[in-house]
Amino acid sequence: MPEQEVIDRAPRDKEEGKSPSTQAGEFVREEMHHIREGKHGAANTKQAIAIGLSKARRAGVELSQPSGRNTSARTRKQAQRDGAKGRRGNRTPSKRRSRAVLRALKREPRLAASPAALSRHAKTAARRRGPGARKAAARRAVRTKGSSGLRRSARKAARSRK
């Protein structure tokens, strides 16, 4: 179960007009914290993110379904089920099932949420999206930097060119 603070933060983000993926980001962040604290583990970074997204859907965040092109039918079906649970409202989870899930996750390694693993995952995901998407992301980042940030980046780029 996600902590109450995270569940409260998601509707607040929605009221502020933030996108569903931003709302879900809170749940993914919480999941990373759980793994780092040693509460449980994950087989890899992708699984850790998937757990967070699943919790977000169950908490009522209106995330879109994963695309059919690179997602298995089983995952799409589970995402649909999670979304339906989120729309249905809160019901107490099965104690037996949650205990079984937690025991399974406790056997997994804790490295999935390490900074190195997250960085590796972000880079491979960006590479898969292609150079156009990377360039667009860089442009969006530049818009939020401000003049001093741009100056700092330009100096760093000049240093690395030497």
Domain boundaries in the chain? 4-129, 134-162
The answer for residues whose C-beta is within 8 angstroms of residue 132's C-beta and 6 or more apart is none
What is the model's pLDDT at position 151? 92
Q: Give the chain's mean pLDDT.
A: 90
What pLDDT, in 10s, does the model give residues 2-27? 788 888 888 888 899 989 999 999 99
What is the model's pLDDT at position 88? 85
What is the model's pLDDT at position 4? 85
What pLDDT, in 10s, does the model give residues 141-158? 888 888 898 899 899 999
Positions in the chain short of pLDDT 50: none
What is the model's pLDDT at position 1? 67
Cβ atoms of 47 and 56 closer than 8 Å = no
Paired tokens of 74 = 């089983």
Prediction pTM value: 0.79
| Closest by Cα among 119, 113, 93 to 52 | 113
**Quick one: how many helices (H) and strands (E) in the chain?**
7, 0
Q: What is the DSSP letter of 43?
A: S
